[in-house]
A and B are shown apart, each in its own frame.
Chain A
Amino acid sequence: MKRIALLGMPNTGKSTFFNRLTGAGARVGNWPGITVELLSAKVLLAGSMVEIVDLPGIYSLHGFSEDELVVRRFLESQPVNGLAVILNATQLDRQLAIALQLKTLGLPMVFLLNMADEARKIGIRIDTGRLETLLGGTVRLVSAKFGQGFKEAKVALEQLVQAHPKLHQASAEALMQDVQIEDALQHAFSQAVDTPVLLPARLTDRIDNVMLHPWLGLPLFLLAMYLLFEVVYGLGTPLQDGLEWLLSAAKDHWLTPLVGGLPAPAQSFITDGLFDGIGTVLTFLPIIAIFFLAMAAVEDSGYLARAAFLMDAFMSRLGLDGRSFVMQMMGLGCNVPALMGTRIMRSPGLRLLTMLVIPFSLCSARLQVFLFIVTAVFAAHTAPLVLLVLYVSSFLAAILTALIWRGRFSSHESLLLELPPYRLPTLKFLGFESLRATRHFLKTATGFIVLGVVLIWFLTHYPFHAAPASADTLAGKLAAGLAPVFSPLGIDQLLSIALLFGFVAKEIVIGALAVIYGAGGDQLSTLLGHRLDGVQAMSFLLFTLIYTPCLSTIAVIKQESKSWRFTLLSVAWPLLTAWVVSFLFYQGARALGF
């Protein structure tokens, strides 16, 4: 198999070029000896299949960031037919540095100067012939986004493969040595690139005068977040509801009659265990797809770096940065895509700390539980206040967690981000990104979630002669055993079984309560109002708010962190916090005579 690696600095449009070259066939894969998953795809070039590998964007071949280590390790261990180096044509003043560093590897190379259209617009003229002599490889001007020069670029890659049909290994010494290229960089730049002395005032600068305004910037940012939130959940939630309706209809009209002949436990296992489990995963799909569409748009537009600029003063005091805040806000809709969104953070410490904090965001599923219980137990005029308290508690829990754990997950990383010009993302690119994220979620989270659902099903249904979730089932016995833990919180055994269900998904807590109390809808509402006083209800709500949001969240935390230890921590820590907060609240309120 022939192989070409795609290399370049961040913000060069490398992924856009990759998508254009490879189409939708790209897949995420593991490479021996490399810790990060890399995207690759097979493409037909000059009559032979060539594997194109998209390496992470790096600023230098010799640094020690995770991405730089990955690229070096890849070049050390994987032979290639050649490299395709993507450079941002508007920033050749610094980007030629990486081209010159790569030249020392002794590999065949093609240089693609991307965003050539932008460069021409601001008056940058590039002498490609001279650049080819200086860099020792073919140079082509392209616009990966709009496709100009793309054919020529592809031809250059075909010629590369034809001229070098054998795999080459990068020169190992060159990877070790930190070459001084300052003079060569100056020389190459001044020889081959003609740039106007004064860059014209860009549209980006004018937009930034408003968007990054000292006191307008933050309100505008919050407004932008709110609009994004509205779009994602305004479109996603109806789709999710629709899918839920469809699935429950399929269950009632198709699956239930189909398994009617089987023994009762097997019936229940298939319908309440497997089908509901897989159904839960499926209903997340629309929101994940739309969320990633929106996130790709924000990331590609250049606004994400601005968000970091605006929120950094506050977030840095918590050991986080502005991008963490964006994800925190997104978590208010659903924690799952917000957790997946932390992929934009390259520093492992920062990313893990953000992932530890996100599950405290009061997501829409929890809101549904809260609305039901708050209306059932509290008077109409105190209900909004209770909800407000819950939202404030969610942010306090997040801030407290960040403050406690920031030492453990310090990122040791200075915030150093490029502020790219504003760009309009193309729909095609957004579609690619969204599709890829959705597929990835399906592939990795399904098994985990189904397993969890089956486990909870077993606990609440075994032994089979007992009524589901009753005191005789394993869950009931577990609840009895846990009574010493939950009674100091004012949470009785029946409610603690509901909390067990809540582990799977908060969406089913109300349904579980209906099963447990044997009453639904208004009846359940009245029943809860009688059985719980305000202090007990609040304690239950606080616990529900803070402990693990759902199985999907845990599955995604495992998928993204690739660490069981961290996953365990992200389950144990919120549980502990939930218990302590509920305990302090319940005992405090009782001591004060409420």
Chain B
Amino acid sequence: MRTLDQLLPDNTGTITALHVGQELQRRMAGLGLKPGTHVRVMRRSPMHGPLQVRAGHTDIILRRSDAARIEVCLAP
């Protein structure tokens, strides 16, 4: 089990849990980030900047601190 911020570019995985609080969880679900979603990390901004993640047909940017609260199961 890992968190989303640990994934490297082009790594894919499936979201297993989000520990982000109800409000953020809703917003993330609205953008397609919810348990069971298949995600791919597209790129990571340098200097500890945000991640670009693809979930389904949507690309999302989120900060690493938020990504650290999303558990993923790494695809083989």
Contact = CB atoms under 8 A, between A and B. Distances in A.
A93 B20 CA distance: 22
A2 B48 CA distance: 52
B58 A91 contact: yes
B45 A59 contact: no
A421 B43 CA distance: 15
Contact of A419 (B34, B47, B49, B61): B61
A63 B58 CA distance: 20
B30 A60 contact: yes
Contact of B63 (A195, A310, A414): A414
A90 B57 CA distance: 7
Contacts of B30: 9, 58-60, 63, 94, 97-98
A60 B60 contact: no
A405 interface: no
B60 A309 contact: no
B47 A313 contact: yes
A416 B62 contact: yes
- Which range holds the interface residue count of chain B? 20 to 34
Interface in A86-121: 90-91, 93-94, 97-98
Contacts of B45: 212, 214, 309-310, 312-313
B27 A65 contact: yes
A545 B58 CA distance: 44
Given A305-B61, A313-B47, A91 B27 contact: no
Interface string A46-65: 00000000000011101111
A212 B52 contact: yes
A100 B46 CA distance: 39
B31 interface: yes
A215 interface: yes
Given A94-B30, A313-B47, A419-B52, A64 B60 contact: no
B61 A93 contact: no
B27 A63 contact: yes
B23 A64 contact: yes
A60 B27 contact: yes
B26 A308 contact: no
Contact of B46 (A62, A214, A308): A214
Nearest to A65: B27
Given A312-B50, A313-B46, A313-B47, A419 B32 contact: no
Contacts of B43: 208, 212, 214
A379 interface: no
Contacts of B24: 414, 416
A444 B62 CA distance: 36
Nearest to A9: B30
Interface residues of A, number: 37
A199 interface: yes
A212 B44 CA distance: 9
B66 A418 contact: no
A415 interface: yes
Contacts of A182: 34
A59 B27 contact: yes
Contact of B26 (A9, A62, A208): A62
B47 A314 contact: yes
A63 B43 CA distance: 29
A316 interface: yes
Interface string B37-71: 00000110111111010011111111101100000
B66 A414 contact: yes
Contacts of B50: 308-309, 312-313, 415
Nearest to B44: A214
Contacts of B17: none
A592 interface: no
Given A91-B57, A91-B58, A309-B61, A416 B31 contact: yes
A396 B46 CA distance: 23
A216 B49 CA distance: 15
A313 B31 contact: no
A199 B57 contact: yes
A60 B31 CA distance: 10
Given A59-B27, A94-B57, A414-B65, 17 more contacts: A60-B27, A65-B23, A93-B58, A94-B55, A94-B58, A182-B34, A208-B42, A312-B49, A312-B50, A313-B46, A313-B47, A414-B24, A415-B66, A416-B61, A418-B59, A419-B60, A421-B59
11 contacts: A93-B32, A208-B42, A212-B52, A309-B45, A309-B49, A313-B49, A414-B20, A414-B62, A415-B62, A419-B52, A419-B61
Interface of B: 20, 23-24, 26-32, 34, 42-43, 45-50, 52, 55-63, 65-66
